[in-house]
Amino acid sequence: MSILLNLSPDLEAKLQRIAASSGKSIEALAVEAIAELAPAGSADAEDSSTLSLDEWNRTLDQLLATLPQTTASDVDTHRESIYCDDGR
């Protein structure tokens, strides 16, 4: 079966970044996402809530790939900043 999807430029760019970081095509990512929604041999939506360890790790990696990268310079390392200005 073929499906034609009209994606916004932003969504397409996100998918391209995720695909590049995972070494997969956008099409492969879409097939995996659809397969997770409708697992083989399962007519029950409840069954899809349980992921194998590999599926969990892949899903987590895909999610993390969409988050902005931070560096140590992005973090405030001055302890004084956690205290109130009134001397407490």
pTM equals: 0.41
Range of the domain at 32: 8-37
For residue 2, report the phi and psi dihedrals to the nearest 5 degrees. Answer: -110, 145
18 belongs to a structural domain = yes
HSE (side-chain half, CA atoms, 13 Å) at 72: 2
Per the structure, how many domains does the chain have? 1
Residue 84 CA, chain-centre distance (Å), reads 37
Report the pLDDT value the prediction gives residue 73, as an integer from 0 to 100.
64
| CA distances in angstroms from 61 to 29, 58, 64, listed in the order given | 12, 5, 5
pLDDT, average across residues 7-24: 88
13 belongs to a structural domain = yes
68 belongs to a structural domain = no
Across the chain, the runs of DSSP E, i.e. the strands, are none
Report the pLDDT value the prediction gives residue 80, as an integer from 0 to 100.
65
Do 19 and 25 contact (CB within 8 A), yes or no?
yes
20 belongs to a structural domain = yes
- pLDDT tens string 19-77: 888 898 888 888 888 888 876 665 554 555 688 888 888 888 888 888 777 666 656 66
27 belongs to a structural domain = yes
